[in-house]
Amino acid sequence: MTKDLFERIRQDKGPLGKWAEQAEGYYVFPKLEGPILNRMSFKGKKVITWSINDYLGLANHPEVLKADGEAAIEHGMAYPMGARMMSGHTPFHEQLEKECAAFVHKENAYLLNFGYQGIMSAIDALVTKHDIIVYDMDAHACIIDGVRLHAGKRFVYRHNDMESFEKNIKRAEKMAQETGGGILVITEGVFGMRGEQGKLKEIVALKKQYNFRLMVDDAHGFGTLGENGRGTGFEQGVQDDIDVYFATFAKSMAGIGAFLAGNKDVIQYLQYNLRSQIFAKSLPMAMVKGALKRLDMIRTMPELKEKLWQNTNSLQLGLRAAGFDLGSTQTCITPVFLNGDIPEAMAMVNDLRENHGIFCSIVVYPVIPKGLIILRLIPTATHTQQDIDETITAFSAIREKLENGAYKQVILSH
């Protein structure tokens, strides 16, 4: 007999869904209210927010709010209607593409409505079943899903491990000789969970020995690294060797949308083959004009990135001086590694939010090994030294309680 699909869904809510009853509204789907700033409201209390990727503090900047508002009043949220290829094209979309491309030193760029779907679709468009994909084990879900669409072979290498990378490139070359295909290597510029940079320099160096094309998801590097925030390729001096560069507008740009950049012929190919854009409505004008404003600010206001890094250095130095393990972060992403189980992690975050006014994300098993807890802090240009000092004091207090076993058997108060 055929099973009822929903019966299974009721029984197995999925790896995250199974926590819904205990976690919903607090640890997952929390409602942060008020302007997007260093301090926001959570359940009626002010908290220092360390979980928002508004790196440069543009989300609530008066000039950005003005540009967004004016564009929405002029065009509404509908214009232009239709997909880019059909009726959703405007000179402003084209201008934004030109400016994004110029900013990251590529010949041309193509806008995406969402980074996630855009990356998936780009991977799908760039390879055929004869081609081979080689990608980092810790790649973001959108890369994993893009690879899932691939009908040919794929090889995954251990995270940032160049020995494993080279071994897999060799396997891929051998395979490509049999299939007559090519090789696409995919990595992130910055790995969002632990803050390490992808080893772009080392990967690019191997281009001399092996024949592959390199795609870099620089969601977290764009705006935060390299001269003027031009990204991880600039930070590592290898931008010219990135064949397909990706950045989202959802982080430093504090908007929505994304872009791919590369050589003219590759971008033209994507314009005609990227299913996520051919069969979906174009980005609304308010997003496009808003993105032009943000890009201009990133380009002309280096003080935003300077402030971000001043806060980052102060936070990271302060936490390290207080004895915290921040792993091997090389970016603004600040993971604080602690030891404990999931109930302890929940009790600790509850204590941070309720008694210390600090809101940050927790990462636990199965994302990281059992017994490990990461409290992940995202500094921004809007944070103050007082936010940082209060946070370090609070972290020292909760670490002491964690080590004393105080979070075992805690009845949560939210």
Ligand X SMILES: Cc1ncc(COP(=O)(O)O)c(C=O)c1O
Tell me the C-alpha distance between 71 and 286, whole Å: 5
Q: Of 247 and 388, which CB lies nearer to ligand X in the complex structure? A: 247
* Cβ pair 185, 135 in contact under 8 A: yes
Q: What is the chain's length?
A: 414
Which CB atom, from 176 or from 253, has the smaller least distance to ligand X? 253
Q: Closer to ligand X by CB, 116 or 165: give it.
A: 116
Least Å distance, CB 396 to ligand X, is 30
279: left (phi over 0), alpha (psi -120 to 50) or beta: alpha
C-alpha 379: how far from chain center: 14
Q: Which of 188, 196, 243, 344 binds ligand X (CB under 6 A)?
A: 188
Q: Which is nearer to ligand X, 124 or 217 (CB)?
A: 217
196 binds ligand X (CB under 6 A): no
CA pair distance 376, 392, nearest whole angstrom? 13
How far is it, in rounded angstroms, from Cα 132 to Cα 147? 10
The residues in 220-279 that bind ligand X, with binding defined as CB under 6 A, are 248, 250, 258
Three-state DSSP state, 149: helix
Site residues for ligand X, 106-145, by CB under 6 A, read 114-116, 119, 140, 142
- In this complex, which beta carbon is closest to ligand X, that of residue 196 or of residue 387? 196
Please check whether residue 298 is in contact with residue 304, taking contact to mean a CB–CB distance below 8 angstroms: yes
DSSP per-residue string spanning 21-37? HHHBTTTBS--EESSSS
Q: Give the residue closest to ligand X by C-beta.
A: 115
Of 30, 80, 181, 192, the one binding ligand X (CB under 6 A) is 192
Pick between residue 88 and residue 255 the one whose CB is nearest to ligand X. Answer: 255
Q: Residues 48, 132, 219, 295: which binds ligand X (CB under 6 A)? A: 219
* CB of 177 vs ligand X, minimal distance in Å: 32
**Pairing mode of beta strands 258-262, 108-112:** antiparallel
Q: Can you point out the beta strands (E) in 207-349?
A: 213-217, 244-248, 258-262, 334-339
Q: How far is the CB of 4 from ligand X (least distance, A)?
A: 33
User: Which residues contact ligand X by CB under 6 A?
Assistant: 114-116, 119, 140, 142, 188, 192, 217, 219, 248, 250, 258
